[in-house]
Amino acid sequence: MRRPVKKRPPVGGDYVYHSEKVEKLINYIMERGKKNAARKIVYGAFDLIKEKTKTEPLEVFETAIQNVAPNMEIRSRRVGGANYQVPHEVRPERKLSLAFRWLIEAAKSKKGKPMAEKLSEEILAAKNNEGDAVRKRENVHKMAEANRAFAHFAIRRSK
């Protein structure tokens, strides 16, 4: 039997933009409990976005997250001694966490610049449907599409 979903305490909005998503991004970037360093990175990236685009960085960030978040992914399922890659729809919370993870991963993979600059470039690229994070989403969608033949193995749960 499946375990119940963990009730997590809600994340409050951040200080500058009063956005829950921005605060979650800060928490994802944070390493070893250094939240102020993570805030400097995120707010620095947002300042660079505002400088480059002359628009509200929160709108650019929201668009980038929508462009990076996957709709489908594959999960392994064992049926009769064989493992199948079964496509599944992605829950909204997981969409957000995957989008953040892929954005940060793509920014970290670039070398030779401060993290705030790399993050701002990746967010701007994602806004325009470009960049490594969007490419990762496309690869996940291609895998799900290629394994669509095994969709009948997906477990249907009634809510």
d(CA 130, CA 116): 18
Q: What one-character DSSP code corresponds to residue 159?
A: -
CA 77 from centre of chain: 24
Residue 91 lies in a domain: yes
Neighbouring C-beta atoms of residue 60, cutoff 10 Å: 21
Residue 110 lies in a domain: yes
For the chain, the domain total comes to 1
d(CA 99, CA 66): 8
Look at residue 62 and tell me whether its pLDDT is greater than 80: yes
Residue 49 lies in domain: 20-153
> What CATH number has the domain bearing residue 57?
1.10.455.10
Residue 12 lies in a domain: no
Residue 143 lies in a domain: yes
CA dist 130 → 46, 99, 108 (Å): 18, 14, 16
Average pLDDT over residues 131-154: 84
Average pLDDT over residues 38-61: 94
Q: Which of 6-10, 32-36, 41-45, 119-123 has the lowest mean pLDDT?
A: 6-10
- Global pTM? 0.86
Residue 11 lies in a domain: no
Residue 60 lies in a domain: yes
